[in-house]
Amino acid sequence: MKQYPHIQVVSRDGFTGFRQAISDANSSILQVYDRWHFIQNAKKHLDTFLLSAVPSTITWCKTPPTPIELKLTKAEKVKLARQKQKWDLIQEIQEAYRLGKSICSLAKEYKLN
């Protein structure tokens, strides 16, 4: 490195011996990780983190936990009430059809097009 004073940037792996040799040759040389070693090192750190953060075995609950009750906005409450009202009407019409009423009479009775 001392033979090439025009070098400004060196791409290297994580070996500390190379880092020290480059610094000894010229302390103004910018040292950067090469892409492959950077990704390898990042993966190693991610694996280490995941080993400590995620349990090695995951047990499934046989009974689902109680659902979290979300507070609905007024518009959402109105929408849900309307959907329930429609569903109840559908069930009522289907039951009347099963009991023998014709589709035409049901359409007239419930004012459906």
Rounded mean pLDDT of the chain? 90
Q: Does 66 fall in a domain?
A: no
Q: How far apart are CA 26 and CA 4, in angstroms?
A: 10
This prediction's pTM? 0.39
Structure-block tokens of residue 74: 């007024």
CA 46 to chain centre: 17
Per-residue pLDDT of 41-69, as tens digits, reads: 999 999 999 999 998 888 887 777 788 88
| Dihedral sign from CA coordinates of 17, 20, 25, 31 | positive
Domain that holds residue 99: 74-109
**49 and 14 housed in the same domain:** yes
Q: How far apart are CA 103 and CA 106, in angstroms?
A: 5
Q: Does 4 fall in a domain?
A: no
Q: Does 69 fall in a domain?
A: no
Q: Does 34 fall in a domain?
A: yes
Q: How far apart are CA 5 and CA 25, in angstroms?
A: 9
- Domain count for the chain, please give it: 2
**48 and 82 housed in the same domain:** no
Q: How confident is the model at residue 84 (pLDDT cuts 50, 70, 90)?
A: very high
Q: Does 3 fall in a domain?
A: no
